Structure 1
Amino acid sequence: MIRPTPLFLVLVFLMAACKTLPAQWIVGHRGASFDAPENTVSAFRLAWDQGADAVEADFYLTSDDKIVCIHDADTERTTGVKHVVAQTPLETLRTLDAGSWKDERWRGEPVPTFEEVLAAIPDNKGFVIELKIGPEIVPVLEAEIKRLNAPRDRLIFISFKADTIAACKRAFPNMRAHWLTSFKQHAVTGEWQPTASEIARTVKECHADGVGMKGNREVIDREFIERLRHEGCGEFHVWTVDSPDDARYFKQLGAAAITTNRPQYIRETLDGQPAGTDDS
């Protein structure tokens, strides 16, 4: 029998002592986007069928200040027609086909609004809202959340923009928010940036509740997570994890959530069921 180490017990205590996301959320990245067109209502609904605990969706403002769900700043990759989202009214965006690029069976999927995505979230599921632009989106989002009476305990904001996260925390001090970061390796020194201390400092400065990190195993190890927590960042999630080995690794490190394009595949892995061949 393998006995838990004192370090493991300390980490478990720290995780239990702080307010965190529901343990080990499996988050559908732009929905079940391995199988369905990303950031569409069909992709989000499929994520629920695949056992996701939450979905992550990306949001921009249109030229007429409507919030729409799309990852890129323009529509070309997912619709075949190029419109810059910020320069285009909702009425025009709604004429686009955001599904058939993935497969003909998805033809006719529209670019959804925030309201439509929210309506597709079941009562017992979470909604991870990635804001792709600056703080200007926050007042519009605040008005929508109030108008729609959104379930605030099941929403979490994420963004690569620290000023956007800071604005979210000012508008919604009791709602969770994670600052996002990836990693770059210095060409000369080989050091990875940002460091755990730098991440913790940014999290503190923007009043985030934690950090969402690109799931890079060259960077994120137990020592890295210990440093994060020592510096005051007690909660983290990782993206985008489609490998069973990676999912197990980050689960063992205590990730609050694992974001994946393949919710069912990763769910089966972490639940100890056969996940098939690791062909990610």
Structure 2
Amino acid sequence: MPHLAFSQMIVAHRGASHDAPENTLSAFRLAWDQNADGVEGDFYLTADSKIVCIHDKDTKRTAGKKLVVEGSTLAELRKLDAGKWKAAKWANEPIPTFAEVLKTVPENRTFVIELKSDEKIVPFLKAELERLDHSKIKLLIICFNDKVIADCKRLLPNVKSHWLTSFKQNKTTGQWTPTADQIAKTVKQSGANGVGMQGNTQVIDAVFVDTMKQGGCDEFHVWTVDSPTDANYFSKLGAFGITTNRPAFIREALETKTAAN
């Protein structure tokens, strides 16, 4: 029986960020137009305890003027243009709030919430989720900080979460870390439902996935995969989701491959 491509969730990384300015409402709306199953956005807590969508600690790269996000108020951040760096047609895109991004998510699609601030953001995220109607969409919280994930599981026990990790190779031994066993241990200790891993085909193979599962980590997604060959590879390994800057391109590639099989 062929592996069905649509068993993977195709998630738009910072929205459809290959085509539109990352982490803007235009990027998220375009992702839905491109038939993404989910969108992933990055969230910081501002100086006045609001949650905003931006990847970097400061606004220099995407807004031209440097403001430290956690040291700035929402009003200060909203004065900036987060779109024109991509192209003139995207000018006047503000840095969006958490609530604005959530409201773009269509029924039965997934909102992947990457928390960039430390544990202090979790109570405010809880308050936002209690305030906003998300009953018709799916949520997935992701974070590189396992302490943040542990807090999310404590305060938001019914929301799925994945701990995030990248991989580093020891230049002397060639050993990659973290190992599958180390990932499973961190996932278990934090209470996460799974792991989101950098899509490194040198590290992740069937044995690696099986080892994680034996350690109690049954679910994984990969980021950021823009190669059809890599997407097909992780699809066959049973990835829960594939995060990509190019959701329409990757979906078409997977569906074409499935049809060919």
Given the alignment, which residue of 23, 47, 50 partners 2:7? 23
Pair 77,254 (structure 1): closer, same or farther in 2 beyond 3 Å: same
Q: Which residue of 2 aligns with 1:44?
A: 28
Alignment partner of 1:258 is 2:225: no
**CA distance in structure 2 between the partners assigned to 1:123 and 1:273 by the alignment:** 28
Structure 2 gap ranges (5+) = none
1:227 maps to 2:227? no
Report what 2:144 is aligned to: 160
Of residues 241, 256, 259, the one that matches 1:272 is: 256
Secondary structure of the corresponding residue to residue 7 of structure 2: coil
Instruction: Give the match for residue 200 of structure 2.
Output: 216
Instruction: Find 1:32's aligned residue among 16, 19, 36.
Output: 16
- Is 1:110 aligned with 2:90? no
Q: Distance in 2 between matches of 1:153 and 1:236?
A: 20
Which range moves more in the overlay, 148-157 or 123-132?
A: 148-157
Shift in Å, 1:247: 0.3
- Which of 247, 260, 263 is residue 231 of structure 2 equivalent to? 247
Aligned partner of 2:156: which letter?
F
| Superposition misfits of 4+ residues, deviation over 3 angstroms | none
1:197-243 C-alpha deviation (Å, 9 max, x unpaired): 00000000000000000000000000100100011100000000000
Structure 1 vs Structure 2: percent identity of aligned residues?
A: 59
The aligned counterpart of 1:185 is 169
* CA shift for structure 1 position 188: 1.1
**For 2:249, what is the secondary structure of its paired residue?**
helix
Pairing partner for 2:153 from 151, 169, 182: 169
Q: What is the number of residues matched between the two proteins?
A: 257
Measure, in 2, the Cα distance between the counterparts of 1:105 and 1:136.
36
In structure 1, how many angstroms separate the alpha carbons of the residues matched to 2:257 and 2:201?
23
Q: How far 1:270 moved relative to its partner?
A: 1.0
Q: Distance in 2 between matches of 1:265 and 1:273?
A: 12
Amino acid at match of 1:185: Q
More divergent stretch after superposition (64-73 vs 265-274): 265-274
Tell me, yes or no, if structure 1 residue 130 matches structure 2 residue 110: no
The Cα RMSD (Å) is: 1.7
Cα deviation for residue 249 of structure 1 reads 0.2
Superposed displacement of residue 172, structure 1: 1.2
Amino acid at match of 1:192: W
1:114-150 CA distance string (max 9 Å, x none): 0100111111211000001211100001001001122
Q: Distance in 1 between matches of 2:137 and 2:15?
A: 20
Partners of 1:115 and 1:230 in 2: CA distance: 38
TM-score, structure 1 as length reference: 0.89
Letter of the 1:229 partner, please give it.
K
The residue identity in structure 2 corresponding to 1:204 is: K
Give the direction of change, closer, same or farther, for the CA distance of 1:133–1:240 in structure 2 (3 Å limit). same
Letter in 2 for 1:39: N
Q: Distance in 2 between matches of 1:38 and 1:151?
A: 26
- 1:142-178 CA-to-partner distances (Å, cap 9, x unmatched) read 0010011223860010000000000100011121000
Relative distance call for 1:197 and 1:89 in structure 2 (3 A) is same
SS in structure 1 at match of 2:188: helix
AA aligned opposite 2:25? V
| 2:77 counterpart (79, 93, 109) | 93
Aligned to 1:13: none
Q: Secondary structure at the match of 1:121?
A: coil
Structure 1 alignment gaps of length 5 or more: 9-21, 275-280
Q: Could you tell me how far 1:34 is from its partner in structure 2?
A: 0.1
Q: Tell me which amino acid in the other structure corresponds to 2:166.
A: S
